């Protein structure tokens, strides 16, 4: 890849730019970015990462190998309308627009495109995203591999069918917030049992890191790992019983199902809005 273009310059675009440039996959001068009107933001990204920025679409898209759609989903219709004449048939489009389907993107662009939809999460900011990718039939194996390499610079990737992306959103897209919510509860309990805040934070973080590493390194199921640290009549068993009494596991299952359902609703709404906006333009 010789030229990668970002349309949109928010936090996800910056995370990708940082990861791609920092990994050495692409030098800064081969990464271009634009946004709707925030020139200060573009200048900041140029200076910080050594990339290039412009509002001149003729320059921006000239010889581009791939275009990343990274604007806010509500701005997608106007942005695609503005750039579609610069996108040739079969252009590789990488979309991080939550809820905007491949079909909606092609309909708005009024042409067939090689589209990859990506669902990263906010841990991309530190290179630890869990990212799911879905592709249409126009994406070649070479292009799919290339996009995987791009997203591997901000974490780990997996390929799924497009109709699974709502489930991905509910599970890993929103997942960091569930973990933070759990940590909030652990910090609150630590305060109530007399632990100093900073000490508690260090213990909680290392506990999470250790548990995650056990899941990575062990071939045992989570239930088995839990069983092995739950001695009959011991402290862990006492704590787990309280969680079971309050239906915590069932609540997490319901939480993820509800987030998945909401993703489907929002996706349908965004798709309808994008189609309506395209008809009116």
List the pLDDT tens digit at each of the 281 positions of the chain.
Answer: 999 999 999 999 999 999 999 999 999 999 999 999 999 999 999 999 999 999 999 999 999 999 999 999 889 999 999 999 999 999 999 999 988 999 999 999 999 999 999 999 999 999 999 999 999 999 999 999 999 999 999 999 999 999 999 999 999 999 999 999 999 999 999 999 999 999 999 999 999 999 999 999 999 999 999 999 999 999 999 999 999 999 999 999 999 999 999 999 988 888 777 777 666 65
Instruction: Give the 3-state secondary structure of residue 194.
Output: coil
156 shares a domain with 49: yes
Place of tokens 């994406």: 139
Does 180 share its domain with 156? no
- 269: in domain: no
Any domain includes 270: no
- Domain with 236 in it: what CATH number? 1.10.3730.10
Tell me the C-alpha distance between 93 and 65, whole Å: 9
What gap in Å lies between CA 19 and CA 152, rounded to an integer? 9
278 assigned to some structural domain: no
Out of 130, 164, 198, pick the residue that ends a domain.
164
204 and 141 co-located in one domain: no
- CA-to-CA distance for 153 and 20, rounded, in angstroms? 6
| 20 and 123 inside one domain | yes
Neighbouring C-beta atoms of residue 52, cutoff 10 Å: 19
Q: Are residues 148 and 179 in the same domain?
A: no
Q: In what order do the strands lie in the sheet with 155-159?
A: 52-53, 31-34, 4-7, 66-69, 92-95, 114-119, 129-135, 155-159
Residues 15 and 121 in one domain: yes
Helix (H, G, I), strand (E, B) or coil at 219: coil
Q: Give residues with Cβ within 8 angstroms of 110, minimum separation 6.
A: 84, 278
Q: Which of 142, 164, 186 is the last residue of a domain?
A: 164
Whether 281 maps to a domain, the answer reads no
The number of distinct structural domains making up the chain is 2
Q: CA-CA distance, 13 to 39, in Å (whole number)?
A: 15
Rounded distance between C-alpha atoms, residue 155 and residue 19, angstroms: 9
CATH code assigned at 24? 3.40.50.720
Is 114 a domain residue? yes
Residue 264 belongs to a domain: no
Interatomic CA distance for residues 149 and 145, integer angstroms: 6
Please report the pLDDT score of residue 140 as a whole number.
97
Given 140, 164, 188, the domain boundary residue is 164
Same domain, 197 and 160: no
**Residue 97 region, left (φ>0) first, then alpha (ψ -120 to 50), else beta?**
beta
User: Are residues 96 and 209 located together in one domain of the fold?
Assistant: no
Contact between 153 and 20 (Cβ < 8 Å): yes
CA distance linking residue 180 with residue 185, whole number of Å: 9
In a domain, 82, yes or no: yes
* Same domain? 46 vs 132: yes
d(CA 180, CA 191): 17
**Continuous segment of H or E residues that includes residue 53:** strand 52-53
pLDDT of residue 274: 74
Residue 184 sits in the same domain as residue 156: no
Tokens linked to 207: 């506990």
Please indicate, yes or no, whether residues 209 and 249 belong to a single structural domain of this protein. Answer: yes
Query: What is the C-alpha separation between 139 and 143, in angstroms, rounded?
Result: 6
Domain that residue 9 falls in: 4-164
Co-location of 179 and 254 in the same domain: yes
């Amino acid at each position: 890849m010789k030229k990668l273009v970002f349309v949109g310059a928010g936090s996800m675009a910056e995370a990708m730019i940082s990861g791609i440039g920092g990994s050495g996959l692409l030098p800064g001068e081969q990464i271009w970015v634009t946004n709707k009107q925030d020139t200060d933001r573009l200048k900041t990204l140029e200076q910080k990462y050594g990339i290039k920025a412009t509002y001149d679409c003729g320059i921006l898209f000239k010889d581009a190998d791939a275009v990343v759609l990274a604007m806010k989903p509500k701005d997608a219709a106007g942005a695609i309308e503005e750039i579609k004449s610069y996108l040739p048939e079969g252009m590789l489009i990488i979309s991080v627009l939550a809820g905007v389907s491949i079909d909606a993107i092609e309909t708005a662009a009024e042409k067939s495109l090689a589209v990859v939809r990506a669902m990263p999460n906010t841990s991309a900011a530190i290179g630890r995203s869990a990212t799911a990718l879905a592709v249409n039939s126009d994406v070649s194996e070479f292009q799919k591999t290339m996009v995987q390499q791009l997203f591997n610079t901000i974490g780990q990737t997996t390929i799924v069918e497009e109709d699974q992306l709502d489930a991905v959103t509910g599970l890993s897209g929103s997942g960091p917030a569930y973990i933070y919510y759990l940590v909030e509860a652990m910090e609150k309990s630590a305060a109530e049992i007399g632990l100093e805040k900073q000490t508690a934070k260090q213990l909680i973080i290392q506990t999470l890191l250790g548990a995650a590493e056990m899941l990575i390194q062990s071939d045992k199921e989570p239930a088995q790992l839990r069983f092995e640290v739950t001695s009959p009549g011991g402290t862990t068993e006492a704590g787990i019983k309280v969680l079971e009494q309050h239906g915590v596991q069932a609540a997490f299952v319901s939480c993820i199902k509800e987030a998945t359902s909401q993703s489907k609703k929002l996706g349908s709404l965004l798709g309808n809005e994008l189609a309506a906006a395209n008809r009116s333009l």
